[in-house]
Amino acid sequence: MLALVSSLQPDSPDQRTGAGIEEYLRSTKVEPQTARGEDLVCHHHPSAGGSKNHNLAGCRIHCLYNCFRGISLLEKIDAFKYSNREAVAQLLEKMEAIRLYTEPKLSNPLMIAAWPGMGGVAIVAAKYLTERLDAQEFGSIEPDEFFDLGGVLIENSVVEEIGIPEGKFYFYDSGEGNDLIIFMSEAQPQMKGYGLANLVLDVAQRFKVRRLYTFAAAPTHIYHTNRPKVLAVATNPRLVQELEKYDVTLLREGSISGLNGLLLGVAKQRNIDGICLLGEIPIYTTQVANPRSSKAVLEILTQMTGLEIDMTEIDSWAKETDREIEEKMAHLREFFRVEASELIDYFERLAAQKGGEEMQPDYSTDELVKEIERFLREKGDKGEDKGGH
């Protein structure tokens, strides 16, 4: 719906007028014959009163989509009478990438955006927040441009329905002028991540979001039952100073992979305040959910925003996850004490380290992770064959 805004790259989406479309199309070799749009009725722009013909060339870009509602794609093209209809059709189709089922009246909103990543830190935190606040779905992003499916699943000789990962918007109206928009995607995009990030931020600017939050994981050498630290980065020095008031460790250098990181970079380009909170996770649990780390980033978020969230359920989930990991470790000790001696020693040293310390093993992290995954996956199966758990 608002993909056109990012394509035009306006200084402010509220200042870009319909005339800007002419400029954009000229740059792509599309010459408009006229952009008067005098045959269309604007049902959105205040000056039209919802009942008079309105010159769409004077429409602000955030209003333009609303003027197009209720008419077909060809009618949209006819309204602007462009000579190159194919190019205009492609341009207008981009405006349909965002679908808002309703437009909630939000006051001073924040936005939280999350994609799956290591340990599920981001998506678990966002999903838990959405459920606890009973946030309501109000829109989505069409996924076709961002995923390339390579096959189908078969069950009982029948082809299953194709499932393209979805990305949806939710809103929470606090009633106290501190509202929230949450965007969650079922998967990281396979392509055009920069374009997807811009679509999410188009919605943020449409609702005048004052700050963006993302979450991510920070794999370190900590034991899974220890309280994880929260690292943090921001899009400008002013926000960094604000972060120093909270119990976070500033991430001085490094990178944040995936859309949970990229979105902050695009927000910086568009002068949107952004903060990423990264929860520590053990390097040996990157492939399983880490609700303890998700809780840690949510605790900082609630302190920064004033949101109140019941953490009882995520606490129980963290304890259950701890129990399952302990069972895996006991499995290694029982059946592979000699073969997995280095791993067992590593786990025992982690468990014994004092809070705030990070153990530095004598071997590389990559080697350690591969060895742990190999034992937890392959050797665990062999242990079951021996009559184990």
Q: Are residues 337 and 379 in the same domain?
A: yes
**Does residue 101 form part of some domain?**
no
Least confident interval from 143-152, 309-318, 364-373: 364-373
87: pLDDT confidence band, cut at 50, 70 and 90?
Answer: very low
Residues 225-273 pLDDT 10s: 889 999 999 999 999 999 999 999 999 988 898 999 999 999 999 999 9
Coil, strand or helix: which one is 279? strand
Task: Supply the pLDDT for residue 55.
Answer: 44
What is the per-residue pLDDT across 168-189, written as a single tens digit (0 to 9) for each?
999 999 888 789 999 999 999 8
pTM attached to this predicted model: 0.72
59 pLDDT tier (thresholds 50, 70, 90) = very low
Asked whether residue 175 falls in the same domain as residue 286, the answer is: yes
Q: What is the pLDDT of residue 344?
A: 78
Residue 251's CB is within 10 A of a number of other CB atoms, namely 17
Question: How many C-beta atoms surround the C-beta of residue 212 within 10 A?
Answer: 26
pLDDT for 277? 97
| Domain hosting residue 364, numbered range | 317-385
Q: Are residues 75 and 153 in the same domain?
A: no
- Of residues 114, 238, 123, the one with CA closest to residue 181: 114
For the four alpha carbons of 189, 272, 232 and 315, in that order, the dihedral sign comes to negative
| Domain stops at, among 63, 96, 129 | 96
Q: How many domains does the chain have?
A: 3
Cβ atoms 250, 267 nearer than 8 A: no
**H or E element: which one contains 291?**
helix 291-305
> Coil, strand, or helix at residue 274?
strand
> How far apart are alpha carbons 385 and 389 in whole angstroms?
9
Q: Do the bridges between strand 211-220 and strand 274-282 make them parallel or antiparallel, or are there none, so unpaired?
A: parallel
Bridge partners, 232 (sequence order): 250, 277
Structure tokens belonging to residue 209: 């979001």
End-to-end CA distance of the chain: 53
- 102 in any annotated domain: no
For residue 39, which amino acid is it? D
Reported as a pLDDT band with limits 50, 70 and 90, residue 331 is: confident
- Predicted confidence at residue 299, as pLDDT, reads 97
DSSP 76-139: HHHHHTBS-HHHHHHHHHHTTSEEES-----SS-EEEEE---GGGHHHHHHHHHHHHHTPEEEE
Structure-token pair, residue 236: 């400008």
pLDDT score, position 357: 56
**289 within domain boundaries:** yes
61 versus 166: the higher-pLDDT residue is 166
Greater model confidence, 66 or 311: 311
For residue 132, pLDDT over 50 is answered with yes
Distances (CA, A) of 81 to 32, 34, 70, 78, 160: 7, 6, 18, 5, 43
Which residue shows structure tokens 């009559």? 387
- How many other C-beta atoms are found inside a 10 Å radius of the C-beta of residue 354? 6
Q: Is residue 116 part of a domain?
A: yes
Domain check: are 58 and 139 in the same one?
no
Report which secondary-structure segment, H or E, holds 211.
strand 211-220
Q: What pLDDT, on a 0 to 100 scale, did the predictor assign at position 207?
A: 92
Residue 158 has pLDDT above 80, yes or no: yes
Domain shared by 181 and 234, yes or no: yes
Dist CA 218 CA 214 (whole Å): 13
Does residue 8 have a pLDDT over 80? no
278 touches 205 (CB < 8 A) = no
175 and 272 share one domain: yes
Q: How is the beta sheet containing 110-114 ordered, strand by strand?
A: 98-100, 136-141, 167-172, 180-185, 110-114, 211-220, 274-282, 230-234, 249-250
- Asked whether residue 53 carries a pLDDT value surpassing 80, the answer given is no
Which of 315, 340, 364 terminates a domain? The answer is 315
Do 216 and 329 share a domain, yes or no?
A: no
Mean pLDDT in residue range 9-32: 40
Q: What is the mean pLDDT of the chain?
A: 75
Has residue 373 been placed in a domain? Answer: yes
* 104 within some domain: no
Claim to verify: residue 118 and residue 217 sit in the same structural domain: yes
Q: Is the same domain home to 323 and 301? A: no
Domain boundary among 62, 96, 130: 96
Q: Examine the pLDDT at 37 and tell me if it is beyond 90.
A: no
Note the pLDDT of residue 11: 34
What is the SS3 assignment for 303-336?
Answer: HHHCCCCCCHHHHHHHHHHHHHHHHHHHHHHHHC
Which CATH number is 302's domain given? 3.40.50.10900
Note whether 196 and 326 are same-domain residues. no
Is the domain of 88 the same as that of 130?
no
pLDDT at 62 over 50: no
Residue 302: predicted pLDDT: 96
Secondary structure (H, E, C), 151-206: CCCEECCEECCCCCCCEEEEEECCCCCCCEEEEEECCCCCCCHHHHHHHHHHHHHH
On whether residue 125 sits in a domain, the answer given is yes
Q: Encode pLDDT of 187-215 as tens digits.
A: 998 888 888 998 899 899 889 999 999 99
pLDDT by residue (tens digit) across 338-383?
Answer: 777 777 778 888 888 765 555 555 555 566 666 666 665 555 444 4
Residues 258 and 122 in one domain: yes
Task: Say how far apart CA 372 and CA 377 lie, in whole Å.
Answer: 8
In a domain, 230, yes or no: yes
- Mean pLDDT on 272-290: 92
Distance of alpha carbon 330 from alpha carbon 335, whole angstroms: 9
